[in-house]
Structure 1
Amino acid sequence: MYNLLIVDDEKYAVAGIAQGIDWTDLPVANIFEAYSAKQARELMEREPVDLLISDIEMPGDSGIELLEWTRTHYPEAETIFLTGHANFNYAQQAIRLGSYEYIVKPIDYDELKKVVAVALRDIGEKREAKAYQETYRQYHDKWMRQKPLLVERFWQDLLGLRISSSPEKIEEAIHLYNLPLHARQIVLPILISVEEWNQPLNARDEEIMEYAIRNSAEEILLAGSPGAVIQDRSGVNVALLYGDAGGEEGLERLRGRCRELLAAANRYFYCQLSCYIGEAAELSKLPEMYRALLEREHDNVAETNAVFALGEGAAAKAPHSIPYAPAEEWLVLFEAGQKAELLRRMEETIRAIREREATAETLDALAASVKHMLYRAFHRKGLPIAGGSAASRGGIRTLAQLRTWALEAVEESYEAYHGQIPDTRAVIDKIHQYVADHLTEEELKREEIARHVFLNPAYLSRLYKKETGIALSEYILQARMEKSKALLAETNRKVSDIAETVGYANLSHFAKVFRKTVGIGPKEYRQKYQK
């Protein structure tokens, strides 16, 4: 929720805005009123204010001076200016100081409400971005300062079998590390599996985010109880609770905490996790228990973002659990150029696998069938196998990930095999024409464009970036702005009509995007360049 402050030396004007607009459908908590810049400053020192709606021309300090003071003391607050005159000097100063909007009286309350709604949305986005950056900075600083801890080294050595499993040797290691444990200590392990990142991260950022996940796991899973959350020498994250779960009731509470961790990871750390809860064991038996958890994680290829207890729902390892993948039939369709039918049959096979108890061996078998089909097709034609997706399936641990890999591998290899890659310019031209024909649409979806050029959406994005050097979303924005500039310079159409023509239903939002992209507002651009 947000706080508004209305500033005008005319009380009826303040009352008109405060009471004449229905604010109930906007996230507005409080509406404060002030009748001079001095009163506004005093109020802002007492109450938090997110958005000012201020007159420019007032007795004493003007709205411009109030904005200068606000920028110094409360830089995150936005300001919408109201004025009775379209004074260029005032507008110039307002733009220089970074005011959000500049509206000439008499005020259209509906238009003002729309501007406020967009402003509050932008303030919220900035607030969320700042919160994320602050969280990232905190964890980054902690990560940079972190030194190898003795407790983590002990657990790494124990789980990695660098310490003998005999109670005597474990007791010696505990004494060496000076830890508050004993050889007969009961410990319950929880393996925390990072299955997939929801956005691209480099290796360094992944390390920082995994550190943040371990901190969150310590807060949520341990919840103040004795224990540790560490990363083993292979990079696997594991929580170690000193003691047992406390029966079925305790195990259910632990499941709830794991689900809470999964939700936090998805919301704050841009990843999907699964938790594998082991059974409490003495330190001498803990490495064996840990291996069982690793094997359970390895065998789970069908379910993601879930909580498992050891021994529950484990996939059966019977020979018939690996379904038949008709690679020879796929090969015939691939070579005949029947891509749509090939993809349909592959989807059928994957769907059949999903309905059974899929295992890691299932993934290997399906991947082998796809590679067999592609390698045979390219070998027969005397061509080298296409790179990219077809060459490797590294990092794939679930059936959903394998599906994405398999379909992309076929898409990329099909185009290379049938000689369509050299004609990428035609694909780019077709994309550009589609964008030009649909600029009036507020949302130009990648999926629709991909369907138009008969490509996988993810492959389309990579192809476009590779061929043009910019992202598809950047090009769409450029196309909207170039069309806007042409209409502003060559016609007398209203700015609001031009905004709708290029896909912006909200004039204020269009003006803001235009100013950010071009450097000046639409009206200023027209004044400068109109022929």
Structure 2
Amino acid sequence: MYRLLIVDDDIHVVEGITFDLDLEKLGISELYTAFNVRQAKEVFQRHPVDILLCDIEMPQGSGLELLAWVNEHYPQTETVFVTSHADFRYAKEAIELGSLDYLLKPVLVSDLERAIGKATGKIHQTSEANHYHRLWIRHHPLIIESFWLDLLHRTIPSNPVAVKEKMAERNLPYTDRTTFLPVIVSVQRWHKELSPRDVKIMEYALRKCAEEIIVGSDSKAAIVPLDRGRLLLVFALGEGDIAVPEELERHCETYIDCCRRYFYCDLCCYIGKVVQAHEIPEMYENLAALEYNNVAFDNKVFLWQGIARTDGQVRLPDMNLWSTMLKSGAKERILNEAADYLDRLTKTGGMDLQALRQFQMNFLQMAYFVLSLRGIQAHQLFSDRKSTDLSILATRSVTDMMALVHHTVDKAIAQTEAAAKTNGVVEDVKKYIALNLGLDEMSRDVIAAQVFLNPDYLSRIFKKETGFSISDYVLQERIRVAKELLSKTDMPVSGVAITVGYSNFSHFTKIFKKYTESNPMEYRHLMQAMGASAPES
């Protein structure tokens, strides 16, 4: 619905127009009247006005003066002049001021309604256009983001013609002369334990911080979220813009420092070189490879220019010497050797992902070999969650690799020392057997896995210490506990069988009789007859 203001110094004209108009038909919800320019301005200041129907020549100011004021203060209002003067000068000025129509008195009702209908139509069209414009403004960053993602994923072919067509199709603010500078921002690690929801919140904070510190007032720059704490920043450059402005490096350094202090993370920025839009995927892949191979540096800005390439061949440390140190428990020497080697490789430019992986494989092979000599099963010893996580993350950086080295050496030496204490190992095995007699599976391999020892090695030291094989000891313990339960409790025989690890009742009965010369019920009756003073030995 629309609001109409009629301005004319002739009260009869105002009343006549008011009487003749079918307000409901025209969609007019509010009708205001004024008899001079001053009154008209007061109406505007009190009420919103969509359509102004105005005379030109009036005392205390003309309609043309009023229209000039309306254009300045209420430009959304549409104006129709109704005048007695067919003066070309008036008509020309009215058109220049943006009057929608110019009608001569006496005006036919049909002409007046047509002019008002024309005004309401234009208002509707403008309102709809403004609505879509607002939507476009709101979603334009998403359109740009979608364009760059489609280009990176090769949904848009990487050729100038296809890229140009998609830019025009999506109405992107770039020209044929626009070049682009890509920057990858990549989180290396979080310094706090974060839930998936917390990570999303922190990634949003990192993006907003990048908008403020790195992008700043550059309205043509795009920020594209990638994955796992990674962002792609694309700066659009015009002719004469500096390829890699020093201030961009400074902004990235400031951003890194801010994120490190306030968002509990280490990250790096990788600045590419200026390319055409269709060259962005290749430049992005180059930067991603640089990011992928950065295992040596934290919180640093990298420039694509002048990056040295390694040939993939690195000299690995003498693992025979390291194995000797691990056998002797020289923990600090191994840790110092590892730190020195990784530091030297970093300083000489030979440190990349491949080199770090080679180091990890050789180091673990050495550690597992030493453990195997002690009868310790490394795959069991390092099957816990922490060991697995550290091993997975180790090739992410030198820092993470040293965390794995510390963990592996600590655990290997501790277990080696424990295995060297035969009495301690045997006691641990006995405790495990006592606590788990109800398990169906109580094999030598299962028990050896609990103390991280090779089954053959464990069998040798267990028999040497106790005089029994592991299987004989388990059997004796099962019979001993079964006799206790039969003589001192009313537990059903089937329950006793299950308690000591026999789910098959007949098999339990057969084994029990073999070692006691009576079946379980006979043994219970015998013990009751004797007063159950003590179990039979």
TM value normalised by structure 1? 0.47
Is the radius of gyration larger for structure 1 or structure 2?
A: 2
TM value normalised by structure 2? 0.47
